[in-house]
Amino acid sequence: MDFVDYYSVLGIPKTASDEDIKKAYRKLARKHHPDLNPNDAEANKKFQQINEANEILSDPEKRKKYDQYGKDWQHAEQFEEARRQQQQYRQQYGQDGGREYDFSDGFGGADFSDFLSSMFGQEGGPGRGRQVKFKGQDYQAELHINLRDAYATHKQTLTVDGKNIRITVPAGIENGQKIKLAGYGSPGVNGGPSGDLYITFVIADDARYKRKGNDIYVDEEIDLYTAMLGAERIVETMDGKVKLTVKPETQSGTKVRLKGKGFPVYKQDGTFGDLYITWQVKLPTNLTEQQKELFRQLAAL
């Protein structure tokens, strides 16, 4: 995989503060967001790189490793172990396979794969005739969907590192929930396994329905006359229309629970939360004089 300079991706210097990173990420994420650039593969790829850059540079430990080891930052622990083995070998034999490495500043310009080859893949090294395999870098991606998308199992296609990946989104997925696709990350080193792809779901708020866990909440307006005298109302739910009876003298704010009409429970087919409907009584406006007089008579009773 080609080296990606995450500082350049965010347009910030290596001396950038945490606040600088946060501001740069927010600005670029808004500009290249998939919702604002539909069917734009290049913008989608850029958006993924922005997320990867923020994922690494906003984490102090990951940023430290990235600054020191560049594209091979995820192999930092293996590198340190290899360096310890090299030092032990040099103490014992006075050499490291014929090649010197300067560790005072990361790799000193040497490529990690070159170092591993020298340490473990050449004769004379401590791992004579052996090539060490390392897992590839993991990828991070965001998938933006709406609440109705999350209500039903469906297919989605997202672009990661220039490749289209078609996945099945299970009904009931939560906002912020992360799933792993094994082997969809960067190729491994020396034939090692590919990294994994971690997808974080971002579910937009819905104008009508409010989700809390597996339950759904919705406000439904009724007029004063329906609230006072009672009537039947047709209410739209995420699963279709239902007929409800409004009881006479219903107060504004009264809640009605519809069991099993809420959100599907993640990976539990046929299991749903509940739907809570809150009746909101809408008072009449622009009354005629005759209507006002009728209310005066009611008030006098």
Which stretches of the chain are DSSP H helices?
A: 6-10, 18-31, 41-57, 60-69, 76-93, 112-116, 147-151, 224-229, 289-300
CATH topology assigned to domain 134-205: HSP40/DNAj peptide-binding domain (2.60.260)
Is-contact 166 185, C-beta < 8 A?
A: no
Q: Rounded CA gap, 101 and 121, in Å?
A: 16
What φ, ψ does residue 130 adopt, rounded to 5°?
A: -115, 140
The pLDDT value given to residue 210:
97
Is-contact 29 51, C-beta < 8 A?
A: yes
DSSP string over 68-124: HHGGGGGGHHHHHHHHHHHHHHHHHHS-SSS-----TTTTTT--HHHHHIIIIISTT
The one-character DSSP state at 189 is B
The pLDDT value given to residue 42:
83
Other beta carbons less than 10 A from residue 246's beta carbon: 20
**Same fold: 134-205 with 210-285:** yes
The domain ranges of the chain are: 68-121, 134-205, 210-285
CATH topology assigned to domain 210-285: HSP40/DNAj peptide-binding domain (2.60.260)
| pLDDT by position in tens, the chain (length 301) | 456 789 999 999 999 999 999 999 999 988 888 888 877 878 888 888 898 899 889 999 888 888 887 777 777 777 776 667 666 656 655 544 444 444 444 444 445 555 555 544 444 444 444 566 788 888 989 999 999 999 999 999 988 888 899 999 999 999 999 999 999 988 888 888 999 999 999 999 999 999 999 999 999 999 999 999 999 999 999 999 999 999 999 999 999 999 999 999 999 999 999 999 999 999 988 989 998 888 888 888 8
